Structure 1
Amino acid sequence: MEQGAAVRVFAAMLKALYERAGAPTLSALVRQGRLQQPPVVLSTSSLSDWLAGRSVPSRQPVVQFLVVGLARQARQAGRAGAPAGWARLWEAAVEERRQRRGGRPGRRGAGTPEEQVPVRGRFVAELRDEEAFGEWEVHRPVDVTAAVPGVLPLYVRRAHDEVLRSVVGQADGGASRMVVLVGESSSGKTRACWEAVAELPAGWRLWHPLDPSPAQALANALAEGIAGHTAIWLNELQWYVGEQAGACAGQVAVGLRALLQDSTRGPVLVLGTVWPEFWNVLTAPAGPGRSSGDAQTRALLEGTGVYVPTAFEAQELQDARTVGGHDVRLADALAHTVDGRIAQYLAGAPALLERYRMAPPAARAVIRAAMDANRLGGAGLVGRDFLQAAAEGYLGDDDYDALGEQWLEEALAYTQQPSKGVRGLLSRVRARQGSDGGDRWRLSDYMDHIGRVERRYAAPPASFWRAAREYLPEPHLVRAVGQAAEARWRDAEAVGLYQRALDLGDVKAGQELVSLWQERQRAEEARRVQEQTALAGDGEVLEELLEQMLEQEHYQQAEQLVREAAGRGHPTAQLHLARALVLDGKAEDAERWYAEVAQCSDPDILRAYADDLRERGDLDGARAALRAAGDRRAMGELAALAEGTVEVEQAAREAFAAGEATPLKTLAEQAEAEGRAADAARLYGDAIEVFERRRRQREEGMDFINFEAGPRSLLDYVNPAVLPMPPGETWALRQLVALLDATQGAAAGDDALGEVTRAGNAWALERLLRRLRERNQEQEAQALLDREVGQGTPWALWVQAYRAVHDEQVTDDVRRTLLERAAQARVGQAVKMLMERAEQAGRAGEADQWALHAAARGYTTPLWELVRSREEGGQWEEAEQLAWRAPAGQRSWALRRLARERTGEHATALLRHACDEALAWAPGLLAERLEAAGEFAQAEQLARTAADAGDRQALEELAVQRKDDDPDRQWLALLANGLTAEGTPAAPW
């Protein structure tokens, strides 16, 4: 029977994608399907029929597996990935076949995930560019008098757009994905996301979580469920995860990770934007004081960052000139910028800055109060009462006396007035009906950026600290302002802010406050705050207090504390009280408190509760508690409680998916030891699939791949140089290959390595090449390498380029071509080598460009090595100039590292320049150098400046050094009480 149009189109799409993927063998696709979790069952005959158009797959997971897998292989070969709208093509083909068979139109069965969860957002196909400036927060472009082709300037695609569109294509292909654009204010991040989302096919929705707060809105939705084909818009990512997001941050990070990892709930696409300084905080490695929520955030963001350079690069500028011939706004931006900051000009940054500079005193005071609230506390929205109370301290006496009765209304009117069509310095956010509080005001993100630079050395006036204490409603914001006060040695202000945050229920503020009291040996105040912190829900403090009370035999006081904390609903106290009641033989009372514990969401407490249940022999209850905890450790413990072959295996898989590898590894090794090779191979295969999925997610989000991992080399394969071992090795892959070698022969081990090689695993490719060489199968090894080079596999391209560089028979032009090809495949070492070769050849400008190109995409090693080599070569000025040209995310650390390694006048000159450029760490370092050089007055001035900028260490060290020669006891007073808001020694407090 002749197939209809929809079936033919779908078959043609699938076949074209199959050919672009290199036409893998049908048996290989069958094997790959079996490795999925859950397995995708295929047959070679069905695959043949689908590719020929004789039939159509009936199940969506099968189509998703084929399209996503083939698209990935196609992209690795440098060819186009999945076509837009493949899901609609398949649905149309299935419906056409059903109708031709006489069946009724299909519909989703009741109870499918799509029908069980709320549908949020707007259809992407219905969005218009006119709407980009509202909810989606794209910057409105500057007005021009001439006619323009649309409300948005014509778009010039840049390097980051290609990575972004690749991720969007993967989501369209059926895989849930997250991508975060990292760049300075007004660098084009949000516009890039808007353009990328527009390429999603019909059926996708775009949703921006905002109300009642960004993090709360997203947390609520994740708890209820997110419908498939939803793109979640997380502009300003720091409002959703991390410290600035508040109490819901950990819940959001965990929920997003679960959503992205669950193939049955997708596909979804998470699009985020963030400034480099916030990204660095969110992704910083674990350290003292970082909570488990931070670990969840780091895991969520791993491999998702895509750097957006501040300025257009040379080719991008040329593209902009071409496009500018069709859009006067772009042409105007090109004519008025000399540093490539096209996006900033189009977003109206110069117009906003001019209006800020010309603001009357009251309006400027309001703007500066909003700037300080955002930069010191992360308060993106502030209320009228806050602005009125805080702004007064930013006015001089004459300006304050000249204020009229309506000064605040006039100031706010000035700040909200658009300039050249661009939204004003402050924007009013209207209060929704039924919400707490009135209207609030949001500072434009470019003015936020200006404030962080212009006011970096400015400590806020006393009115700011008071206003923050009285009018910031969210406890984590009040605590953040308290931390800013303490960093500036305004400890008396910090105490009030911490106390207010603790009164609002923030236990972290209590911890900070306890430290301040303990530093001053004020045991009574510290104990009072500890008790309040324990009652607010801090389990560690509660446990510490209980231990102290029990050691002192204050049993009644301990029980009273626990009962009061438990009565406030804090699960740590409830657990302690339940255990105490069990010891007292009051089992019924204990059960009532245990029932409360079971309802909590804290994984640590639930695991402790599970321990109690296990000790009492209630294994079913322990399993339920561990499953409710759901974290890595809980899932590992749950696997240990599993019984029966099927349950044990399922529990091991679930633990492995949560990040606990031991149960699955133990299970596989046990099967191997017992001679059940097939079971062991299957379990190793399950682990490999999870490892490979994580590896692909990391590498898809990378701007550069780092092949410097591992100490071993391919010395026997590439001579005479040492080529670093590529990443990708896992115990599962290593042990599976060893098992297959032992039970089925080397060919089976080769097949397993080959399958993972084709998925892009560089270690598997290296290992397979090595094995072939060890067996003297030179032709097979070369054919394998040539095939991978032809498909654009990054590590294969790097091997080819590396060999050419060390082969004297290869011409320099060929070496350069091969290195550039590897660089285009995102091989960081190729970029580094291109930089080194240009530097050695005296092409300093070219070397700079390669180093800066890498740094703009997050790979900083080449830039620092080039700076360091010029420094060591005596090229002081050249080294410093290059460090200053580094992208914003790397500039500060490069200069700080350079300053610390320099001595004498070279260091002083660099530090003075850094002070002029408002780098917060510079005054403190310069103060140390000047104090050592005997420049005491300058050292003190700079140390005070450093304290105002949030670096109190230099001033504290100065006070310690000078306290013994202190006739008016000012330094002693400073050490005892810190500074007032105005910067003088504070009175005792």
Structure 2
Amino acid sequence: MPSADTVTALAGVLKLPVGELLELRRIAAEETGTASAGVSGPGRPIGQWDPHELEVHPAGPGKGPSGADGVRALPGYARREHDQVLANAVTAAATGRSQIVVLVGTSSTGKTRACWEAVQPLAEKAWRLWHPFDPTRAEAALEELHRVGPRTVVWLNEAQHYLGDRKFGERIAAAVRQLLLDEERGPVLVLGTLWPEYAHHYTAPPTPGGDDPYSLVRELMAGHMVSVPDTFDTAALTAAAALAEQGDTLLADALTRNQNGGRITQDLAGAPELLRRYEQPRQAASRALLEAAMDARRLGTGLHLPKAFLTDAARDYLSDHDYDLLTDDWAEHAYAELAEQVHGKQEPLRRTTPRPTLRPPTPTTDAVTTPQTSAVPVFLLADYLEQHGRTTRRHLCPPASFWYAAHTHLTHPEDLNNLAKAAKGRHRLQWSHHLFQRAADHGDPEALTELARALVEAGDLDGAETLARQAADHGNTFALYLVAELREEAGDRDGAETLYQQAADHGDTGALTYLAVMREEAGDRDGAETLYQQAADHGDPDALIHLAEMREEAGDREGAETFTRQAADHGCTNPLAHLAKMREKAGDRDGAETFTRQAADHGDTYPLTHLAEMRKADGDWDGAETLYRQAADHGDTNALNRLAEMREEAGDWDGAETLYRQAADRGGTNALTRLAMRREEAGDRDGAETLARQAAGLGGHDALARLVMVRGMAGDRDGAETLARQVTDLGGTYALTRLATLLKMGGNRDDAETLYRQAADHGDPDALTHLAVMREEAGDRDDAETLYRQAADHGDPDALYLLAEMREEAGDRDGAETLYRQAADHGDRDAPYLPVEPSDIFNRLWPYGLDPDGTPTSPWEPSGSVELREHVPPRPS
């Protein structure tokens, strides 16, 4: 087989088209199996390149669409407008016409990745790719450009290194232009990328009489530059979201941080370096600042973090050794390090200036005002690091310096409130109290209410009432209700009524309704009706409902209907349903139907379906069906399901299926699930699976999970397990967990444990907890403890409580308390599966709360004040 150089030389001597001869050589090489033999010219087949070798930025740790681990993963690719220009150039090159395209965009906007994606069709056609790089980019390009043969992509990423070179740039531009014009060496595709400032510099016309150092570069790029936008538009975001839904975790993570206005590629490109800068800082103080910022954001502060707060907060994040090494100017050095940019023009922690809030002038201000900005330096944490902190630090309670700095430097009531709640959720009760007080000092009504609640719990009703009135003065009347209810429970009806009246005086019309209820219970019906009417006049529909019920009980049906209609006009349909029930019970079927239809006209179909059920219970199936159809006509999908069930009970399977399908067409996954179960019962397993998958496609994965259970209970272990795995592939690990539970209940503990482990491997922390329980029941306490801890690390805090209970039952009270303390550090949460509320456990163990380091807090009084010590070097306790 002759080499490509030999064929090119022969073509020149014989005056034959070099492109055709090289194509014949390629075909002959493929037919004889020697396609790789005798290949000459720079570059290598496109398929042999790794995209990162061509300077495509890694997209951060995690898994790409292929599931591969490591920082070299690439996310899926969402195409944008410039991709079509590249595709057109690739098509032209593939058909024999040499092309050049230079993508122009700011750092990390996806230029290089776009070029890589564009050349993939050429890889299938055995094209080569050459990336001139050694000894320098410019020298390599100038030395080898004359050797580039047909069907080659010339890769000029960061083209300023080639075209902008002071010594060789113009010569390289001339050589590239000659390559594009030389038909005997074509076709070739030249791809380049540039930042806008370079493109502007190279293409700017020369000044009269001045030098023109880029004349050939300007001529080469004229008409071949394509802009790459900084952000994803709506179409690109939609495409990225679709890839994320298909399992692309890198894109999914980036989209969760899309508050940056669609800067997806910058986020992905900067993530690895941001993480490295956090994990491997030049100085420990830099990491301390980042961790203080991470904790502030995950516990609820706003985006803009004051410098003074971060500086003081960071101290206890340092070890004693690192703290002793701090210099007087440590903060300035740390902030300077964190201000250095990474890819995508991102900084780990950057100083920012919040935009001023612009509002129309009030009558007391000048027509034109100058917006004032805060003189306090504030900083913004990189989105990626914020998200990283929420994941990796979720189980940690910040140290004392954090809480002290928040109390000392933060002034925004919402920040203080959120941190106070976070402290309370972690049983740091004393700091919670002081942060609420700090927010209350700024007039925050929510903080005043929380402080009032604390005094109520401490039995200080008078102090609570004082704070409740202050909160009401600032627009929050909830605390007044709280104290009023306690007064009422204590028999102080006058005191309760006074507080309700105060709430009403602050514009809370609901308080008038409470007062009216108290008058009604006391037998003062006239007074109650007057208050109800006042509340109704202030727009409280609940008062109209009470009035309607009072008139109905008094036999004034016309008055009851009047108030009911008024309530409906205010958007409240409950009284219509109530009157419909009363009419039905009284035998007034026409009146009942009238009110149900009125409710339906107001958007509430429940009265229609409820009345239909009453008719069905009385044996009036025709009447029930009529009402169900009316509800369905008003958009109630569940009414179609009820109709289908009636058809089933009557033995009309075809009619039932028709109605179920109508419900499914309206998005009713329950209907598809019911159909699937019917098909399964009839022995049509394929039909059942098809319908269940249709339901899953609409978001109703429960249909497949129910099939798993049905087949498992029927003894079809293999069929159930196969289906469970399919559900898992769709993202629902619960099917495996349910099947494992079913096997466990049936005594098949070994297989149950196997399935639990498989579900756990797919990310289900509940499965780990189930496994831990099984190991504990089997007496393997060590393995159970390991699994409980794994479950907690994977997001199931219940596991810590269960492990603590295990320790308590074994008599290890100290070990149990340690675990409960770790659970407290996770923060407040609902615990529906635990027999005791976490707060009850914490209050039993530590009635005064915990200090930030986890030690029990010394006795203190919520109404008292605790002296706060200044937190500056030397480090205080």
Normalised to the residue count of structure 1, the TM-score between the two structures is 0.46
> 2-side partners of 1:550 and 1:981: how far apart?
37
Tell me the alpha carbon deviations over residues 579-619 of structure 1, each in whole angstroms, 9 at most, x when there is no partner.
Answer: 8999999999998996676445x665664577689889866
Checking the alignment, whether the CA contact within 8 Å between 1:657 and 1:690 is kept in structure 2 is no
Query: Paired residue for 1:542, among 457, 474, 481?
Result: 481
CA shift, 1:496, in A, is 2.8
CA shift, 1:977, in A, is 1.9
> 1-side partners of 2:82 and 2:543: how far apart?
49
> 2-side partners of 1:931 and 1:471: how far apart?
42
Q: Structure 1 604/851 Cα, relative in aligned 2: closer, same or farther at 3 Å?
A: same
CA shift, 1:354, in A, is 1.8
Q: Which residue of 2 aligns with 1:686?
A: 630
CA shift, 1:361, in A, is 3.4
**1:948 matches 2:815:** no
| SS of the residue 2:292 aligns to | helix
Q: Structure 1 479/750 Cα, relative in aligned 2: closer, same or farther at 3 Å?
A: same
Tell me the alpha carbon deviations over residues 8-51 of structure 1, each in whole angstroms, 9 at most, x when there is no partner.
Answer: xxxxxxxxxxxxxxxxxxxxxxxxxxxxxxxxxxxxxxxxxxxx
CA shift, 1:487, in A, is 3.3
Q: Which residue of 2 aligns with 1:652?
A: 597
**1:729 matches 2:650:** no
User: Which amino acid in the other structure matches residue 641 of structure 2?
Assistant: E
Q: Structure 1 499/863 Cα, relative in aligned 2: closer, same or farther at 3 Å?
A: farther
Checking the alignment, whether the CA contact within 8 Å between 1:393 and 1:462 is kept in structure 2 is yes
CA shift, 1:797, in A, is 6.6
Q: Structure 1 673/272 Cα, relative in aligned 2: closer, same or farther at 3 Å?
A: farther
Map 1:198-347 → 2, pairs under 5 A: 309=247, 346=268
> 1-side partners of 2:619 and 2:749: how far apart?
63
Q: Structure 1 484/856 Cα, relative in aligned 2: closer, same or farther at 3 Å?
A: same
| SS of the residue 2:114 aligns to | coil
Q: Which residue of 2 aligns with 1:208?
A: none
CA shift, 1:495, in A, is 2.2
Query: Paired residue for 2:763, among 878, 887, 903?
Result: 887
CA shift, 1:443, in A, is 4.7
Q: Which residue of 1 aligns with 2:732?
A: 856
Map 1:453-852 → 2, pairs under 5 A: 453-468=391-406, 478-499=416-437, 513=451, 516-517=454-455, 520-521=458-459, 525-526=463-464, 528=466, 537-538=476-477, 542=481, 545=484, 548=487, 555=494, 561-575=499-513, 598-599=537-538, 604=542, 607-608=545-546, 622-623=563-564, 626-627=567-568, 629-631=570-572, 633=574, 636=577, 649=594, 652-655=597-600, 658-659=603-604, 661-662=606-607, 665-666=610-611, 682-690=626-634, 693=637, 729-730=641-642, 753=656, 755-759=658-662, 821=690, 824-825=693-694, 826=696, 827-829=703-705, 832=708, 849-850=725-726, 852=728
User: Which amino acid in the other structure matches residue 824 of structure 2?
Assistant: A
Q: Structure 1 126/977 Cα, relative in aligned 2: closer, same or farther at 3 Å?
A: same
**1:420 matches 2:347:** no
Unaligned runs of 5+ residues in structure 2 are 1-78, 85-105, 121-230, 255-263, 359-371, 697-702, 861-877
| SS of the residue 1:431 aligns to | coil
Checking the alignment, whether the CA contact within 8 Å between 2:288 and 2:315 is kept in structure 1 is yes
User: Which amino acid in the other structure matches residue 652 of structure 1?
Assistant: R
Larger Rg: 2
CA shift, 1:539, in A, is 5.5
> 1-side partners of 2:233 and 2:467: how far apart?
48
Identical pairs, percent:
25
Alignment RMSD (CA, Å): 6.6
Query: Paired residue for 1:355, among 277, 280, 292?
Result: 277
CA shift, 1:759, in A, is 1.6
Map 1:131-142 → 2, pairs under 5 A: none
Q: Structure 1 908/752 Cα, relative in aligned 2: closer, same or farther at 3 Å?
A: closer
| SS of the residue 1:148 aligns to | helix
Normalised to the residue count of structure 2, the TM-score between the two structures is 0.51
User: Which amino acid in the other structure matches residue 280 of structure 2?
Assistant: M
> 2-side partners of 1:737 and 1:957: how far apart?
44
Q: Structure 1 657/892 Cα, relative in aligned 2: closer, same or farther at 3 Å?
A: farther
Query: Paired residue for 2:788, among 898, 904, 911?
Result: 911
Map 1:55-66 → 2, pairs under 5 A: none
> 1-side partners of 2:710 and 2:839: how far apart?
50
CA shift, 1:860, in A, is 6.0
Q: Which residue of 2 aligns with 1:451?
A: 389
Tell me the alpha carbon deviations over residues 638-657 of structure 1, each in whole angstroms, 9 at most, x when there is no partner.
Answer: 87899998997486354486
Q: Structure 1 504/152 Cα, relative in aligned 2: closer, same or farther at 3 Å?
A: farther
Q: Structure 1 645/834 Cα, relative in aligned 2: closer, same or farther at 3 Å?
A: closer
Tell me the alpha carbon deviations over residues 895-948 of structure 1, each in whole angstroms, 9 at most, x when there is no partner.
Answer: 666577564333133235446668544444434434544556544544433333
Checking the alignment, whether the CA contact within 8 Å between 1:375 and 1:452 is kept in structure 2 is yes
> 1-side partners of 2:634 and 2:620: how far apart?
24
> 1-side partners of 2:118 and 2:526: how far apart?
69
> 2-side partners of 1:151 and 1:610: how far apart?
69
| Higher RCO (CA-CA < 8 Å; seq separation 6+) | 1
Checking the alignment, whether the CA contact within 8 Å between 1:831 and 1:850 is kept in structure 2 is no
Checking the alignment, whether the CA contact within 8 Å between 2:712 and 2:739 is kept in structure 1 is no
Q: Which residue of 2 aligns with 1:978?
A: 849
CA shift, 1:395, in A, is 3.9
Checking the alignment, whether the CA contact within 8 Å between 1:428 and 1:441 is kept in structure 2 is yes
Tell me the alpha carbon deviations over residues 227-271 of structure 1, each in whole angstroms, 9 at most, x when there is no partner.
Answer: xxxxxxxxxxxxxxxxxxxxxxxxxxxxxxxxxxxxxxxxxxxx9
Q: Which residue of 2 aligns with 1:148?
A: 114
Checking the alignment, whether the CA contact within 8 Å between 2:356 and 2:373 is kept in structure 1 is no
Q: Which residue of 2 aligns with 1:432?
A: 355
CA shift, 1:828, in A, is 0.2
**1:365 matches 2:288:** yes
Q: Structure 1 549/608 Cα, relative in aligned 2: closer, same or farther at 3 Å?
A: same
| SS of the residue 1:459 aligns to | coil
> 2-side partners of 1:554 and 1:796: how far apart?
57
| SS of the residue 1:874 aligns to | helix
Checking the alignment, whether the CA contact within 8 Å between 2:417 and 2:435 is kept in structure 1 is yes
Q: Which residue of 2 aligns with 1:254?
A: none
Checking the alignment, whether the CA contact within 8 Å between 1:835 and 1:851 is kept in structure 2 is no
Q: Structure 1 527/388 Cα, relative in aligned 2: closer, same or farther at 3 Å?
A: same
| SS of the residue 1:493 aligns to | helix
CA shift, 1:686, in A, is 1.8
Checking the alignment, whether the CA contact within 8 Å between 2:577 and 2:595 is kept in structure 1 is no
CA shift, 1:357, in A, is 0.7
CA shift, 1:566, in A, is 3.0
**1:926 matches 2:812:** no
CA shift, 1:865, in A, is 3.8
CA shift, 1:460, in A, is 1.1
Q: Structure 1 380/564 Cα, relative in aligned 2: closer, same or farther at 3 Å?
A: same
Checking the alignment, whether the CA contact within 8 Å between 1:347 and 1:422 is kept in structure 2 is no
Checking the alignment, whether the CA contact within 8 Å between 2:733 and 2:759 is kept in structure 1 is no
Tell me the alpha carbon deviations over residues 683-714 of structure 1, each in whole angstroms, 9 at most, x when there is no partner.
Answer: 4312124465469xxxxxxxxxxxxxxxxxxx
